[in-house]
Structure 1
Amino acid sequence: MIFRQLFDSVSGTYTYLIASRHGGEALIIDPVLEKVDRYLQLVRELDLKLVKAVDTHLHADHITGLGALRDRTHCITVMGEQTLADVVSMRVAEGDRVAIEGLSLDVLYTPGHTDDSYSFLMGGRVFTGDTLLIRGTGRTDFQNGDPRQQYDSIFNKLLKLPDETLVFPAHDYKGDTVSTIGEEKRFNPRLRVRSVDEYVDIMNNLNLPNPKMMDVAVPANIHVGLHQEEIARKGWAVSAAEAMALSGRSDIAIVDLREKAEREKHGTIPGALHAPYPELQEHISAGGILHELAAATGKRIVFYCAFGERSAMAVEAAQDAGLTSACHIEGGIDAWKKANGPVAK
């Protein structure tokens, strides 16, 4: 396995690049916009393919690299289902898994620092975002933070992990790179409390200034997903209502780009074909199933995914491959459900 811990000294952010090596699929956790060129250089040097980019929460101290990585690699962007960020193409919840070839991360909902804070468990490692830091915990005084929720996340989830579990946080300001659950139980001063009320009292009286980038970073990190707007301007998008009118027609092929686990959890549009987004290029290239379907039968390909991000990228790729009638459902199956479209399990 390939594991790299990268650091942004301006914001004190740790970014993690992980791959299983066999086929080179990789994912990245908590990327920083200014470091995107460095990440992609490392991806090239290690002969990897970035397929997923994950943020543990909506950051207030730096602008995320999710949007830039999506635009430059067409990777799937991942965050928790509570997030306000519009760049997200896969939203996860407690109990889900974020998988790439050869490895997967178990999803833990750990709110408190923010209401969209998640941790990701991979074998003997846990990526804790800003929930549990090395000898500290994330502040709880903005973005719907809640010290009681954070106490529950830490004491009833993270500290229940085996003591030898390695702790990799999203930030550190003292130069520490890694800890363990056992170390934090013994030495983290914020965790030496006898009750939740004592923890709440500590967190409510930190009196910290707001992060310097907060007024810039939070709005910027919410509004990153401009890709769908560009696709709509080109006339390559249909609304959920328009898609319902097209569904069932003999000249239309609706194609679901989501992963198997997403389809099982959230249902599908009845009659839709399945072509997972990571395999898209082979399907739309000459000789591929979708390319031949469109060429041989004249069917119009209508892509959809969870929220429209992956399908917007798929339409652009399909147009480049010569499938000029291809379009996508703006807003994905989320918009379809909101428009009361039928869903099959």
Structure 2
Amino acid sequence: MIFRQLFDSVSGTYSYLLASRRGGEALIIDPVLEKVDRYLQLVRELDLRLVKAVDTHLHADHITGLGALRDQTHCITVMGEQTKADVVSMRLADGDKLTVEGLALDVIYTPGHTDDSYSFVLPDRVFTGDTLLIRGTGRTDFQNGDPRQQYESIFGRLLKLPDQTLVYPAHDYKGETVSTIGEERAFNPRLQVKSVEDYIEIMTSLKLANPKMMDVAVPANMKVGLHQDEIAARGWAVTAREALALVGSPDVALVDLRERAEQDRRGVIPGALHVPYPTLPETIAPGGILHELARATGKRLVFYCAFGERSAMAVEAAQDAGLASARHIEGGIDAWSRAGGALTR
């Protein structure tokens, strides 16, 4: 496994680049906007392909790099399903897997610092966001934070991991880079409590000032979505209601860009082809299955995903590949369901 821990000294943020060497697919956790050029340089130097950019929660102390990385690499943006961000391409739930080729991280919902906080677990390490820090824990006094929930997230979930599990947090302000579950259980002063009431007392008595960037970062981080209206203005989109009439049309091929787990959870539009988004470049290139399907049969490709973000990027790429009739369903399965569209499992 390729693993890099990257640091932004201004906000005290750690970002993590992970990959498995074979196909070069990579993901990054908690990227910072000002460091995007450095991340992309490292991705090039390691001969990787950034497939997913992930935030553990809605950050208040820096502006996320999710949108910029998506715009420059066409990667998938990922957060938990509770996020207040306007459009995140993939939304995970407790018990899901966060995957790229060769890697699968267990997804654990760990609210308390915020109500959208998640942790991601590999067999030997856990990325804890701001839920569990090195010799500390994330504050619980804004963004629907809750010390009782955080206590359960830490004691009921994270501390159930093996003691040797490496702990990689989203922040550190003292120069620490890594800990273990066993170390934090033994030496983290906030975890030396006898009850949840003791923990709540500690967290509610902190009286911390708001993060300096909070008034800027939170609104900015809630507006990371791709502007699908720009795609629609080019005539490359259909609304969910318009798409209802396309099901079963002999001249239309509906193309589902989501991952299998997303399909299992939400269902699929009847008759749709499954072409996972990371495979799109080869499928729309000359000789690729979608390119040949459109050219040989004259079928119109209509892409869709969860919320329209991946499909908007897909239809733009298809247009660039010369597939002028390609369209996407604006708002994805989310809009389709609200319009009363049928789904099968």
Aligned residue number for residue 212 of structure 2: 212
TM-superposed CA distance for 1:302, in Å, is 0.5
- Tell whether the 8 Å contact from 2:81 to 2:91 is kept in structure 1 after alignment: yes
Structure-1 separation of matches of 2:285 and 2:4 = 33
Question: What corresponds to 1:50 in structure 2?
Answer: 50
Q: Check the 8 A contact 1:5/1:17 in 2, yes or no.
A: yes
Please give the alpha-carbon distance, in whole angstroms, between the structure 2 residues aligned to 1:76 and 1:228. Answer: 15
Paired residue total: 345
2:87 & 2:21 partners in 1: Cα distance? Answer: 27
Conserved in 2, the CA contact under 8 Å of 1:67 and 1:87?
Answer: no
CA–CA distance in 2 between the matches of 1:75 and 1:212? 29
Q: Which amino acid aligns with 1:191?
A: L
Match for residue 141 of structure 1? Answer: 141
The whole-number CA distance in structure 1 between the counterparts of 2:244 and 2:14 is 44
- In the TM superposition, residue 344 of structure 1 has moved relative to its aligned partner by 0.3
Aligned to 1:323: 323
Query: Contact between 1:85 and 1:223, CA under 8 Å: does it hold in 2?
Result: yes
| Runs of at least 5 residues in structure 1 that lack an aligned partner in the other structure | none
Q: 1:285–1:321: 8 Å Cα contact kept in structure 2?
A: yes
1:164 equivalent in alignment to 2:151: no
2:259 maps to a residue whose letter is E
- Whether the 8 Å CA contact 2:226–2:309 is kept in 1: the answer is no
C-alpha root-mean-square deviation of aligned residues, in Å? 0.8
Q: Please give the secondary structure, in 1, of the residue aligned with 2:106.
A: strand
Which residue number corresponds to residue 305 of structure 2? 305
Contact 1:58 1:218 in 2 (8 A): yes
| Amino acid aligned to 1:75 | C
Q: Which SS does the other structure have where 2:152 is aligned?
A: helix
Cα displacement (A) at 1:292:
1.4
Q: Distance in 2 between matches of 1:15 and 1:243?
A: 39
Pairing 1:1-345 to 2, within 5 Å after superposition? 1-345=1-345
Question: In the alignment, residue 164 of structure 1 is paired with which amino acid?
Answer: Q
Letter in 2 for 1:124: D
Q: Distance in 1 between matches of 2:305 and 2:52?
A: 15
Given that 1:66 and 1:87 are in contact with CA atoms closer than 8 Å, whether structure 2 keeps it comes out as: no
Decide which moves more: 291-300 or 37-46.
291-300
Distance 1:242 1:84 in 2: 27
Deviation at 1:325, TM superposition (A): 1.2
CA distance in structure 1 between the partners assigned to 2:165 and 2:241 by the alignment: 48
- Letter paired with 2:127: F
Q: CA deviation at 1:87?
A: 3.9
Rounded to whole Å, the distance in 2 between the matches of 1:222 and 1:337 is: 23
Preserved contact between residue 87 and residue 307 of structure 2 (Cα < 8 Å):
no
One-letter amino acid of the counterpart of residue 226, structure 1: L
> What secondary structure does 1:28 align onto?
strand
Structure 2 distance, partners of 1:228, 1:150, is: 36
**Residue aligned with 2:325, SS:** coil
Aligned partners of 2:76 and 2:310 also within 8 Å: yes
> In structure 2, what is the Cα distance between the partners aligned to 1:71 and 1:239?
23
The amino acid that maps onto 1:232 is: A
1:287 to partner: Cα distance: 1.5
- Local SS of the residue matching 1:246: coil
User: Do the aligned residues in 1 keep the contact of 2:57 with 2:79 (CA within 8 Å)?
Assistant: yes
Distance 1:29 1:148 in 2: 26
Query: Distance in 2 between the 1:340 and 1:143 partners?
Result: 33
SS in 2 for 1:182: helix
TM-score where L is the length of structure 2 = 0.99
Structure 2 CA distance for aligned equivalents of residues 265 and 226 of structure 1: 24
Segments of 4+ in structure 1 off by > 6 A? Answer: none
DSSP 3-state at the match of 2:287: coil
With normalisation by structure 1, the TM-score equals 0.99
String of CA shifts for 1:37-86, please: whole Å, max 9, x gaps.
00000000011111111100000000000001001111111100000112
Percent identical: 79
Q: Is the 8 A contact 1:139 1:203 kept in 2?
A: yes
- Give how far 1:342 is off: 0.3
d(CA) in 1 for partners of 2:304, 2:71: 18
| Alignment partners' CA distance in 1, 2:76 and 2:299 | 27
Question: What are the Cα deviations for residues 124-179 of structure 1, in whole angstroms up to 9, with x where unaligned?
Answer: 10000000000000000111100100000000000010000000000000000000
Q: 2:193 & 2:340 partners in 1: Cα distance?
A: 49
8 Å CA contact 2:61–2:214 kept in 1: the answer is yes
